Chain A
Amino acid sequence: MFDIFMIHTWIASTIIAVTAGILGFFVVLRRSAFAAHALPLATFPGAAAAQLLGIQPLWGLMGFVTLAVVLLHQLQKLGRKDVAAGLVLVTLLAVGSLLLSMTNTYAPAVFSLLFGQVLGISAADLWPVATIASLVLIGAMSLYRPLLLQSAFPELAISRGISAGVIDIIFLGLLGLVTAMAMPVVGALLVFSLLIAPAAAAQSLSARPLQALVLAVMFSVGMMWLAIALSFWTNWPIGFFVGTMGALLFTSARMFRYIRHRWFSTALPTTMKNSSMKLILAAQPGEA
């Protein structure tokens, strides 16, 4: 499992999991889950386009993700975020179906673009992953506070002079970069599960932003490692493990929170109940 050909897989997937965990935290905070679903799928035809043009797949993906981000940003300005994401998704996917029919891409290649191909990563594949990941990390770190404020409280950010449009295009740009970087490795559908599940689970467990962010990264990396190991042993697709583990993680986090909540809410109001009972009891003799 830790053979030399697997080392690249471990490194690439760890880098991807860390960046996806960080960006996923903001995706969930901004309630942009649908956009995070639409971007990878809209980027997916880029690989077919690259093959048609005879260029590197990464360039095709970058081209399509840029197109998707610009379209999404422009359509979002019209008001409905969900409709914008839906339109971008179907439009680019339609283009993709045409491009795929024009190329001689065979089914397994399409399948691996959707569900990931983590076992064939070479040392040369690591460079773009590392470069894009450092770009995204620097961007997210330097914009941490405005991004946090604008994502969680857009109404409050306005009065601090933080432009919603600027933050939105930067955020979508970072998301697009992560998508293009992660897609050849983990697949279009898997990027989405890595973005949403760990962050949503972390946010229901921790009430502190930075703690929730770190927790999201830890969940994301843990999920990724476990998925690779299980996929290696069982020979089942990695997407299956990441997807199901994401759902399981989120469900367990919610259950944990529910139980903790019940425990606290039965512990706290007893004293309140007692004190209000005392008040009622104390008031009654005077009224009688």
Chain B
Amino acid sequence: MHEHTTLPPPVPSDHHADANCASVLAVEDLTVSIGGRMLLQGVTFALQPGQLCGLIGENGAGKTTLLRSLIGVQPSPHGQVSISGLSPRKSRDLVGYVPQKINFAPDLPMRVYDLVQLGCDGHRLGPRWFSRRLHQQVMAALDAVGAQDFAYQRIGELSGGQQQRAVIAHALARRPRLLLLDEPLANLDFRSANELAGLLGHLTRVHGIAVLVTAHDMNPLLPVMDHIVYLAKGRAASGSVREVVQSATLSILYGYPVAVIEHGGRVLVLPHADAQAGEDGCYLMPNGSASGGQA
């Protein structure tokens, strides 16, 4: 039994520079096919502790499939996934998973507290006996996402942002070293999306958790993200945010003209429109041809 009462201890903030730091997640040459269709092919990347990595790619690029193979739900005939040196099936305690938007029924007899409690011991058999340790573990996870205020409210009656926090607390309950989130910012308003991005940044910086997050709108994540893995046509490539967030690179990736602009010290990614020209005023179309400013 390895029950813990708090989240991982704070780590020094300069851990990014440590090249010898063992990877939390190492994906090597991963290939996944569903129903005879090759979805992912030779995907290779690694994640260090405390890194916040964005996983981007157009709809159907295989982002969710990749996350599912990282938690050992999606079998992969070829390639290797190792989480702190273990296979996905053996490392369930080390990984927290936040699936795409869950629809909570308003009548669901479940408070945020109960959801997080199930995050601690939901897989165990037998009745649950009261345990101070379990309570502390739940409170630590609630505390980490700032969900104490609504911990005892029915989960179906909370706002989308609060529900998302609750699910993240559920995923954090067992002190994972790796947190996987599938479109956590979808359907959230500006404030909630920014707060959630800030929360993810906090988890990586303060608790040293590695975070892999898929997002359609990467703008809220740009200030906190330090690495990007992108999927296109079944293949993956990765780079630092500075390398990837360029008009030309993103336009190729999305197969759609994308502008990267700077405003008030922040970098923003927007779909291209006539009025907004990229820094080089030129977009590379997916077929390799360059397109001028035309819409």
Residues of A within 8 A of B (CB): 29, 141-146, 148-149, 152-153, 155-162, 200, 202-204, 206-209, 211-212
**Is B295 in the interface zone, CB < 8 Å from A?**
no
Q: Could you list some 14 contacts between A and B, CB below 8 A?
A: A29-B108, A29-B109, A145-B125, A152-B118, A155-B102, A156-B118, A156-B122, A159-B73, A159-B95, A159-B171, A203-B107, A207-B109, A207-B110, A208-B114
Closest chain A residue, CB of each to CB of B111: A207
Tell me whether B122 and A149 are in contact (CB under 8 A).
yes
A162→B123 contact, CB < 8 A: yes
Q: Closest Cβ of chain B: how far from A272's Cβ, in Å?
A: 13
Q: Which residues of A contact B118 (CB under 8 A)?
A: 145, 148-149, 152-153, 156
Excluding A160-B92, A207-B111, 14 further A-B contacts by CB distance (< 8 Å) are A142-B127, A144-B128, A145-B128, A146-B122, A146-B123, A146-B125, A149-B118, A149-B122, A152-B108, A155-B99, A158-B71, A162-B123, A203-B107, A207-B153
Considering the chains assembled together, what is the distance between the CA atoms of A161 and B72 in angstroms?
A: 8
Any A CB within 8 A of the CB of B126 = yes
Q: How far is the CA of A159 from the CA of B154 in the complex (A)?
A: 23
Whether B272 sits at the interface, judged by CB under 8 Å, is no
B94 to chain A, nearest CB (A): 12
**In the complex, what residues of B have CB within 8 A of residue A144's CB?**
126-128
B167 touches A208 (CB 8 A): no
* A159 and B125 in contact, given A149-B118, A207-B154, A209-B114 (Cβ under 8 angstroms): no
Counting chain B residues whose Cβ lies within 8 A of the other chain, the interface size class is 20 to 34
Given the interface contacts A144-B127, A145-B125, A146-B125, does A203 sit within 8 Å of B71 by beta carbon? no
List the 4 closest A-B pairs by CB distance, nearest first.
Answer: A159-B97, A149-B122, A212-B109, A207-B154
Contact A141 B73 (CB under 8 A): no
* Secondary structure class of chain B's binding surface, majority of residues: loop
**Smallest CB–CB gap between A13 and chain B, Å?**
26
A-B Cβ contacts below 8 A, count: 84
Q: How far is the CA of A227 from the CA of B118 in the complex (A)?
A: 37
Report the separation of the CA atoms of residues A261 and B145 in the bound assembly, to the nearest whole angstrom.
27
Closest to B154 in A: A207
A160 lies within 8 A of B122 (CB): yes
Q: Please list the residues of chain B having a beta carbon within 8 angstroms of any beta carbon in chain A.
A: 71-73, 89, 92, 95, 97, 99-100, 102, 107-111, 114-115, 118-119, 121-128, 153-154, 167, 170-171
- Most B C-beta atoms less than 10 A away, residue of A144, A148, A206, A207: A207
The listed residue (B110, B115, B123, B127) touching A160 by CB distance below 8 A is: B123
Known contacts A144-B128, A149-B118, A208-B114; decide if A203 and B108 are in contact (CB<8 Å): yes
Q: Would A143 and B125 be within 8 Å (CB), given that A152-B108, A207-B109 are in contact? A: yes
Least distance between B128 CB and chain A CB atoms (Å) = 6
**A211→B92 CA distance, assembly (Å):** 30
Query: How far apart sit A149 and B95, CA to CA, in the bound complex (Å)?
Result: 17
CA distance A204 to B110 in the complex (A): 11
Are B109 and A202 touching (Cβ within 8 A)?
yes
Cβ-defined contact, A161 with B89, below 8 A:
yes
**Chain B residues with CB below 8 A from A212, complex form:** 109
Cβ of B115: which chain A residues have Cβ within 8 Å of it? 153
Quick one: closest A residue to B102, CB to CB?
A: A155
Q: How far is the CA of A146 from the CA of B126 in the complex (A)?
A: 9
Contacts of A155 in B (CB 8 A): 99-100, 102
A152 contacts B126, C-beta separation under 8 Å: no
CB distance from B127 to the nearest CB of A (A): 6
Measured CB to CB, the closest approach of chain B to A133, in angstroms, equals 17
B54: min CB distance to chain A, Å: 20
Q: Which residues of B contact A204 (CB under 8 A)?
A: 107
A144 to B71, CA, bound (A): 23
By beta carbon, the residue of chain B nearest A203 is: B109
Contacts of A209 in B (CB 8 A): 109-110, 114
- The smallest C-beta distance from A207 to any residue of chain B, in angstroms, reads 4
> Out of A143, A158, A160, A208, which one reaches B109, CB within 8 Å?
A208
Contact of B102 among A146, A148, A156, A162 (CB under 8 A): A156
Q: Which residues in A have their C-beta under 8 angstroms from that of B154?
A: 207
Given contacts A159-B92, A159-B99, A209-B114, contact A148 B122 (CB under 8 A): yes
Taken together as a complex, chains A and B put the C-alpha atoms of A148 and B171 apart, in Å, by 16
- Nearest CB of chain B from residue A148's CB, rounded to whole Å: 7
Nearest CB on B from A26, distance (A) = 11
Q: Which of chain B's residues have a CB closer than 8 A to the CB of A200?
A: 107
- Most chain B beta carbons < 10 A, residue from A152, A159, A200: A159
* Cα distance A145–B114 in the bound complex, in angstroms: 11
Which of chain A's residues has its CB closest to B68's CB? A158
Query: Which A residue's beta carbon lies closest to that of B89?
Result: A161
Contact for B126 among A141, A203, A206, CB less than 8 A: A141
The reply to whether B126 and A142 form a contact with Cβ atoms under 8 Å apart is yes
CA of A155 to CA of B170, assembled, Å: 12
Query: Bound state CA distance, A241 and B89, in angstroms?
Result: 51
| B residues near A207, Cβ cutoff 8 Å | 109-111, 153-154
